[in-house]
Amino acid sequence: NEGESAKKNGTMTSSAHECFVMLLNEWSRIGNQILPRDTLLDFVAQGVKASNESESRDSRKFASIWTTTKQSRVAAFEQVKSQYIKMLSSLPAANAAQWRTKMGLPPLEDEHATSKSRESHPASAKATEDTSTGKETNDSTPMQTDD
């Protein structure tokens, strides 16, 4: 759609968005005194809201771009998404599930089914989430852990 392509991209896939979530992840790793879990979740939700408001196309909004199978969008959002996955993997399952719901993301089981569907197609995305950790891995490299 010519009119849609003329619309300006917002900040959803920007390095600033990635760095914002990365910084929050690092602060939360230091401990609850620096960045309590509730504050982390509030800050990240505010970041998602601001990024959504910067996007003029629904296809680039957080929930849409998170679940997209369109390769150009998967690649553009991959680094930002990996920071969110890192954050979610550090949370208790109940908090992570609640946050996913609040952000309009499908339950983790539904997302894994979508990932499995992508894996069965040769032109599918290379990035998938490990079902045990919720961390994103690349099919061509072994999964690394943060130990």
Would you say residue 125 has pLDDT above 60? Answer: no
Q: Give 7's pLDDT tier (boundaries 50, 70, 90).
A: low
Distance CA 37, CA 30 (A): 12
- Which tens digit of pLDDT belongs to each residue from 46-85? 999 999 999 999 999 999 999 998 898 889 999 999 999 9
Distance CA 102, CA 38 (A): 14
Whether pTM exceeds 0.85: no
Q: Which of 6-15, 23-32, 115-124 has the lowest mean pLDDT?
A: 115-124
In sign, the C-alpha dihedral spanning 29, 63, 50, 79 is positive
Would you say residue 41 has pLDDT above 60? Answer: yes
Residue 91 DSSP class: S
How many Cα neighbours within 13 Å face the side chain of 126?
Answer: 9
| The pLDDT of residue 136 | 45
Arithmetic mean of pLDDT, 79-92: 94
Question: Taking the mean position of all CA atoms in its chain, how far away is CA 40?
Answer: 15
Percent of the chain whose pLDDT exceeds 90:
50
Selected residue with higher pLDDT from 133 and 30? 30
